[in-house]
A and B are shown apart, each in its own frame.
Chain A
Amino acid sequence: MANRATGELARREFVRRVIATGAGLATANLGLAGCGPKVAAGAGEDLGPIEKGLNLYLWSDYLADDTVPNFEKEFGVKVTVDTYESNEEMAAKLMAGASGYDLVLPSSYLFPVLFSKDLLAPLRRKYLTNWGNVAPLFLNPPWDPGNAHSVPWGWGTTGIAYRKDLVRERPDSWAVFFDERYRGKVTMLDDLRDVIGSFLRLRGRSLNSVDPAELAAAKQDALKAKPNLRAYVSAPVKAQLIAGDVWIAQMWSGDAQQAIAEQPAIEYLVPKEGGTIFSDALVMPRSAPHQRAAHEFLNYILRPPVAAAIADKTGYGTPNQAALPLTRAKVPYPTADELGRLEYQKDLGQGSEQWDRIWTEIKAA
């Protein structure tokens, strides 16, 4: 059955893969980074009148259908939306000197990279009259102190989605992937950060670890789990969980919420050892040509109905506390206890080579 969401995911996966093949060669970062124009004015300075255009560069499928048309109608601005499928792709393009984008949507772990190349312009809070709608949890994040450069857009976690009608015990530990009773009925994400990260958490380690011994242990766990796994699969697993082919799947909360909307027997949880929390935020590159329009758009998505529509479409949580009651899923913010178990991914820097090797070893086994 090709339901709407499956088709959409297929498309998303499709786009991701097509881009993945081409992206590598498309942009060359031959040390050009940081040479872009630096037009930023002081944070207090007034911006001119609203411009006629606005160029967005966002994750694909991250807008509700009416988000952009309504904005265009109300503000008389022609909006262009370009999309990307990975942080790396977007970062490579920005660092290669791509200009013309007014707003970009990186995940939190990319901020140090963008700051290190001085690519982000400070925001003028006085244009963001709806700022008060942001939940305290998302204010002053460690990667952007005081939210001087970013407006939170969506958040989510990596956890386990399972069929409560087919699985007896709540699989609230990453150790469920060792359980031979579920052989062939469980999947993990096709994502090295999430697979290795969850086994690091299982042993009480940080999912950003670059310690060789800790990583070696995580690798052993991953190898132990592999025979039980039906597959490493990210987006397409949703349809199979809905169909009941797969009973337990490591999943991103947004995908899980979309699946739950179609199959109420699915439940989503973050295991007791904890997992990843991620947060995407809109930022304005220094080279942004339409800075006033960009601020108007930021203020626009801070409106509760607009934020709620986006959350409903993507399945990810909204950092907009006024929008939360308006959303379909009403995913509550993590409690203090849960927050203690959740960790933001950090860029691995030099450690990424070690991670990649381990991932290849797991896959090749």
Chain B
Amino acid sequence: MSLRRRVLGWSAARPTRSGYALLAPGMIWLLLFFLAPIGLMLVYSVMKRGLYGGVEPGITLEHYRRFFDPLYLDILLRTILWSFVCTVLCLVIGYPVAYVVARAGRWRQWLLFLVVLPFWTSFLVRMFAMIFLLRDSGFINSVLLRAGLVHEPVALLYTPFAVMLGLVYGFLPLMILPIYASLEKLDVALLEAAEVLGATPRARFTRVIFPLSLPGVVAGSLLTFIPALGSFVTADLLGGAKQVMIGNLIQNQFTVARNWPFGSAAAFVLMGVVLVAVVGYLRRRDARELVG
């Protein structure tokens, strides 16, 4: 059964008036602070650039046209590739972690606590902490040098490796938690049934456990992929700003370049890509599930 049908089938009763009232704060919040800014940005993206920031009256599609230049498209493609690799790495690393945590018995709460712990500090602070780990005179190199494994510090900071490390480190909990949630709900009776019916451990995983955890995998992948697409701090701080991701390009348009319309247009192209990717992904999954 698809995720959508499951949610829709949850309650046949129509929401009552008090049910709608409960929705109001959320709706108002989204309208004011999500839709309104996005609408504003859409308007900006077709206006003329103000020389000193802001926009000036006039309608133009020039900013969108400008974006479809190999220079900017290349940056966009590279960002998508990076985000994809980051998502796959998070999945490969995060799935076993979620699996172990979900069946850790009395240790579960503690392990879960450790997974959530990084959220106690801001993403930015964690990226700065990585600098101290990775730099030439940082912790990792000191240990390697002292252990005699290397004779010169290994260049870790300001490399593509550092950027990927930072991204995976930053987003890993977002992958682990949804997968954990779907594995934790898993009915042990199903596994017993599979075993009784002669499924090997391998088959139990591929035919029972993994399919049932798919909603978590999907949610985790989206929660990782989308913010990775828009991230800019990691590339700046850990990559030494030697590579631009689309997020850096957009941020730069609003600050240094003072080209708000172009920044808005680039943000909308990015949003369009995310939308197409996500909708396409969910559609295919839905279709597959219905067939299966």
Binding site for B on A (CB under 8 A): 2, 10, 13-14, 17-18, 20-21, 23-25, 27-31, 33, 86, 88-89, 91-92, 95-96, 113, 184, 187, 190-192, 226, 229-233, 236, 240, 243-245, 347, 349-350, 352-353, 356-357, 359-361, 363-364
How close is B229's CB to chain A, nearest CB, in angstroms?
15
Q: Write the chain B residue with the least CB distance to A244.
A: B137
Q: Is the CB of A192 within 8 A of B54?
A: no
Closest 7 interchain pairs by CB?
A231-B240, A29-B54, A24-B254, A245-B136, A356-B257, A232-B241, A231-B158
Q: Is the CB of A14 within 8 A of B74?
A: no
Q: Write the chain B residue with the least CB distance to A7.
A: B128
Q: Beyond A28-B54, A95-B53, A230-B158, is A20–B242 a contact (Cβ under 8 Å)?
A: no
CA distance A99 to B259 in the complex (A): 24
CA distance A2 to B53 in the complex (A): 37
B75 at the interface (CB under 8 A from A): yes
How close is B131's CB to chain A, nearest CB, in angstroms?
7
How close is B260's CB to chain A, nearest CB, in angstroms?
6
Q: Which residues of A contact B75 (CB under 8 A)?
A: 360, 364
B113-134 contacts to A (CB < 8 Å): 124-125, 128, 131-132
How close is B68's CB to chain A, nearest CB, in angstroms?
14
B204 at the interface (CB under 8 A from A): no
Q: Is the CB of B255 within 8 A of A23?
A: yes
CA distance A359 to B256 in the complex (A): 11
Q: Which residues of B contact A187 (CB under 8 A)?
A: 240
Q: Beyond A14-B124, A24-B263, A360-B71, is A352–B257 a contact (Cβ under 8 Å)?
A: yes
Q: Beyond A356-B252, A360-B71, is A25–B54 a contact (Cβ under 8 Å)?
A: no
Q: Is the CB of A230 within 8 A of B240?
A: yes
Q: Is the CB of A357 within 8 A of B137?
A: no
Residue A361 contacts which of B57, B71, B131 (CB distance < 8 angstroms)?
B71
How close is B31's CB to chain A, nearest CB, in angstroms?
16
Q: Is the CB of A86 within 8 A of B54?
A: no
B165 at the interface (CB under 8 A from A): no
B147-171 contacts to A (CB < 8 Å): 153, 155, 157-158
How close is B178's CB to chain A, nearest CB, in angstroms?
25
Q: Is the CB of A236 within 8 A of B131?
A: yes
B222 at the interface (CB under 8 A from A): no
Residue A363 contacts which of B136, B158, B241, B263 (CB distance < 8 angstroms)?
B241
Q: Which residues of A contact B258 (CB under 8 A)?
A: 88, 352
Q: Is the CB of A29 within 8 A of B237?
A: no
CA distance A113 to B155 in the complex (A): 43
B251 at the interface (CB under 8 A from A): yes
Q: Is the CB of A91 within 8 A of B240?
A: no
Q: Is the CB of A95 within 8 A of B52?
A: yes
How close is B53's CB to chain A, nearest CB, in angstroms?
4
Residue B251 contacts which of A20, A226, A350, A352 (CB distance < 8 angstroms)?
A20
CA distance A77 to B257 in the complex (A): 38
Q: Is the CB of A29 within 8 A of B50?
A: yes
Q: Beyond A29-B53, A29-B55, A95-B52, is A357–B71 a contact (Cβ under 8 Å)?
A: yes
Q: Is the CB of B251 within 8 A of A243?
A: no
Q: Beyond A28-B54, A31-B57, is A192–B40 a contact (Cβ under 8 Å)?
A: no
Q: Write the chain B residue with the least CB distance to A21.
A: B251
CA distance A364 to B258 in the complex (A): 19
Q: Which residues of B contact A88 (CB under 8 A)?
A: 52-53, 255-256, 258
Q: Is the CB of B71 within 8 A of A363?
A: no
Q: Beyond A2-B132, A17-B124, A31-B57, is A363–B137 a contact (Cβ under 8 Å)?
A: no
Residue A226 contacts which of B55, B132, B153, B242 (CB distance < 8 angstroms)?
B242
Q: Which residues of B contact A191 (CB under 8 A)?
A: 256
B244 at the interface (CB under 8 A from A): yes
Q: Is the CB of B244 within 8 A of A360?
A: yes
CA distance A146 to B286 in the complex (A): 72
CA distance A88 to B259 in the complex (A): 11
Residue B55 contacts which of A25, A30, A192, A243 (CB distance < 8 angstroms)?
A30
Q: Which residues of B contact A86 (CB under 8 A)?
A: 255-256
CA distance A17 to B125 in the complex (A): 11
How close is B67's CB to chain A, nearest CB, in angstroms?
12
How close is A209's CB to chain B, nearest CB, in angstroms?
17
Q: Is the CB of A25 within 8 A of B40?
A: yes
How close is A345's CB to chain B, nearest CB, in angstroms?
13
Q: Write the chain B residue with the least CB distance to A240.
A: B135
CA distance A89 to B241 in the complex (A): 21
Q: Is the CB of A25 within 8 A of B37?
A: yes
A-B contact pairs, 23 of them (CB 8 A): A14-B124, A18-B124, A20-B251, A24-B254, A25-B254, A29-B55, A86-B255, A88-B258, A91-B53, A229-B242, A232-B240, A233-B240, A233-B241, A243-B136, A245-B153, A245-B157, A349-B51, A350-B51, A353-B49, A356-B252, A360-B72, A363-B241, A363-B242
Q: Which residues of A contact B248 (CB under 8 A)?
A: 363
8 more CB-based (< 8 A) A-B contacts, given A14-B125, A231-B240, A236-B131: A28-B54, A91-B52, A91-B53, A229-B240, A230-B158, A353-B259, A363-B243, A363-B244
Most buried by B among A27, A96, A187, A352: A352
CA distance A17 to B236 in the complex (A): 10
Q: Is the CB of B135 within 8 A of A356?
A: no
B176 at the interface (CB under 8 A from A): no
B218 at the interface (CB under 8 A from A): no
How close is B153's CB to chain A, nearest CB, in angstroms?
8
How close is A154's CB to chain B, nearest CB, in angstroms?
21
Q: Write the chain B residue with the least CB distance to A27.
A: B54
B37-66 contacts to A (CB < 8 Å): 37, 40-41, 49-57
Q: Write the chain A residue with the least CB distance to B51.
A: A349
CA distance A96 to B131 in the complex (A): 37
Q: Which residues of A contact B239 (CB under 8 A)?
A: 231
Q: Which residues of A contact B219 (CB under 8 A)?
A: none
